[in-house]
Amino acid sequence: MTQQLTEIQLAYIAGFIDCDGSILAQTIQKSDYVLKHQIRVSIVFYQQTRRKYSLLKIQEELGMGTIRDKPNGMSELSIIGQQNVEILLRLLKPFLRMKQKQANLVLLIIEQLRSTKKSLKISQMPHEQSRLNFLDICHLVDQVCDLNYSKSHTITVDFVTQRFQDLKWIQK
């Protein structure tokens, strides 16, 4: 955050996200990850490229995010990474009206990812337990996708569970 955002700025940005934004979580297959999957969280603002200036303004206010022009005449401002998403969601939460559930779930996902990662690092947790914890997080991701009526959500908790069973990482 390059500067302190006012409540007026946050309220406007919340109105924008509620209408033309998304608070997202997704599970991605990653062979080089300990648990073979990565959980990504992001906040995306959509706008027609002819009104890209509105995305540039929000990017400037937030002091973060990447803008991408798509071939279909749309542009997107994406905030990715747990730390940035967490900071922004905590600020926006009081002002969101339609996507508050997604915000709460994504904050919970970030929190649980952090504690699972910490446990893995200091080897406090048996492997099976950390895998089960990860499946709990995948279940939260499913809930976010359901709230967003996501059509491209294929790596569901059932999918990851099956994969973990195939790898004999967890019991059937």
Contact criterion met (CB below 8 Å) for 28 and 152: no
- CA distance linking residue 2 with residue 136, whole number of Å: 35
SS3 29: strand
Smallest distance, Å, CB 141 to a copy of itself? 22
- CA distance linking residue 143 with residue 26, whole number of Å: 10
**What is the x/- site pattern for a copy of itself, positions 114-133, by CB under 8 A?**
--------------------
Smallest distance, Å, CB 140 to a copy of itself? 22
For a copy of itself, which is the closer residue by CB, 47 or 130?
47
Contact criterion met (CB below 8 Å) for 45 and 17: yes
For a copy of itself, which is the closer residue by CB, 4 or 31?
4
Site for a copy of itself in 15-54 (CB under 8 A): 15-16, 18-20, 47, 51, 54
Smallest distance, Å, CB 147 to a copy of itself? 11
| 131 exposure class (CB count in 10 Å sphere: 0-12, 13-18, 19+) | buried
Q: Which residues bind a copy of itself (CB under 8 A)?
A: 7-9, 11-16, 18-20, 47, 51, 54, 57, 95, 97-98
